[in-house]
Each structure stands twice: as structure tokens, then as C-alpha cells.
Amino acid sequence: MTRPDLRGARASEKISVNANVAASTRVFEELRARIVTLKLPPGTILSRAELAEAFGVSQSPIREAIQRLEEIDLVVSYRQSRTEVTRINCKGLRHENFLRSGLECEVVDLLCRTPDADLTKALGYLEIQEALVDEPDQIELFRELDESFHEALFIAAGHEAVHRLVIEQSSQMARLGTLDLPRSDKLHSVFAGHRAVVDRIQAGDGQGATDAMRAHLSGTIGRLPDIMDANRDYFT
């Protein structure tokens, strides 16, 4: 079990503050981002007092953020003891992948039936990803573009709020994706999946688009045994 240098992280990363966003939401989103990118790996101990100091807030928003993280199984709190980042739950992974696949396939099918759907943002993200597929040192940017691409599809379909739900409820899968991303061919595979989805949408091929999205989203979960073998300490 490890304890993060939260104050050091705040000084170097400059946690952004948006006065229009509730403090508990800011804390939740920042901690979730650090957990799913494994900057706070499984077993990390979170001190509420240190978090409050690092974020410059009282313990009340920290408590609310921790509760939200518990609801999506990213942390577990032991009464009168500690809060700890959980290990990745394999059963939870399969539930999350089922949920995300179902919703994203519905989105691309809807886009195929919406001739005037605006795919400009999705195509823009895809173009940048193509330029990065041979740049492994740009993995973090590539990951952000991956999320932005999927979000752009939900926005084009008129379901941006559903995408926010999907992201929050896919936190175990996000951690699995972080472990899988450094593979040498992963960036090419992700780009090819995105390209296939967009090509089918533009062709108005609903079945082809849903098949392409399902195949794209099944890649990481299909490699679960190998990822677990290489990272045993990260899984339950």
C-alpha cells in the first residue's frame, strides 16, 4: 500500500479550479482521472486531510467525492481507518463493457439513420490520432483524443448527457485500458477501430457501424487474461 504525495502533485500539476463547478465535483473528477490513469494505483492510501489541503477545500467536499468514488468501486473506506484505491474487479469489467457496448452501438446506429448528423468534431479527432499512431511518447494525448472521439459521437447523436454516464460507469474499463495502451500496436488498433466506425456511419450502414463499434470495444476486454498475467497486483 502506498501513499501519494498529493501536495507535490498539486504544485506540479496545478489542479484547475472552476468557480462554476462544485468543489466536490472538482475533487471527484480529478481523483477519478488520477485513479483510472493509474497515477494513483490500486492499494494507494488516500488521506482525507491531505486531500483537503492539496485541493484547498474543507473536508466536506472531500467526503462527498470519496462517496462518489466508492459508488463506482474506485476506492473503499474502512471505518475509523483509511480510504484505499481498490483493485480492478473482473466481474465489474464485464458489466461495464456490456453497458458501454450497448449504448455506443445504439449511438452509431442512430447516427446512420441521421443523414445530417455533424461528424466534424469526430473526424477532427480522428485526423489528429492518425498523426500520432507512430508516436508512443504521445500516449496521454492519444488517450484524451480517444475519449473525445467517443464523446463527439454521443454529441452528434444528441446524447451528450448519456456519454457522461457512460464514462463514470466505465471506470474499471478505463483502468484496464491504461494497462493495455502501452502495447506497440495498440495505437494503430484504436485508430483503425475509429476509422472503421466512421466509414460505416458515413456509408449509412447501421449493421456495419454497430459491428465495427462492438469489435472496437471488445479488444481490450478480450486481452484481459494476458493483462492480468502481467499485472497481478492490480486485480482482485
- pLDDT, average across residues 168-189: 90
Residue 16 predicted with pLDDT over 50: no
- pLDDT, average across residues 172-182: 91
The residues facing 44 across adjacent strands are: 2
Q: What domains appear along the chain, each with residue ranges and CATH number?
A: 23-85 (1.10.10.10), 90-234 (1.20.120.530)
Average model confidence (pLDDT) for the chain? 90
Give residues with Cβ within 8 angstroms of 84, minimum separation 6. 1, 43, 44, 45, 46, 75, 76, 77, 78
- The DSSP H or E segment spanning 84 is strand 82-85
| Rg over CA atoms, the chain | 19
- pLDDT, average across residues 35-63: 94
Q: What is the pTM of this model?
A: 0.85
* Cβ atoms of 132 and 141 closer than 8 Å: yes
**pLDDT for position 82:** 86
Amino acid 74 reads L
What is the rounded CA–CA span in Å between residue 92 and residue 96?
6
Instruction: For residue 101, give the C-alpha cell.
Output: 457496448
Residue 213 predicted with pLDDT over 80: yes
- pLDDT, average across residues 54-77: 95
* Cβ atoms of 35 and 69 closer than 8 Å: yes
**pLDDT for position 15:** 47
Q: Which of the pair, 17 or 82, is modelled with greater confidence?
A: 82
* Cβ atoms of 85 and 43 closer than 8 Å: yes
- pLDDT, average across residues 102-123: 96
Residue 1 predicted with pLDDT over 80: no
Place 14 in a pLDDT band, splitting at 50, 70 and 90.
very low
Which of helix, strand or coil describes residue 105? helix
Place 20 in a pLDDT band, splitting at 50, 70 and 90.
very low
**pLDDT for position 183:** 78
Residue 9 predicted with pLDDT over 50: no
Query: How large a percentage of the chain has pLDDT more than 70?
Result: 91
- pLDDT, average across residues 151-180: 95
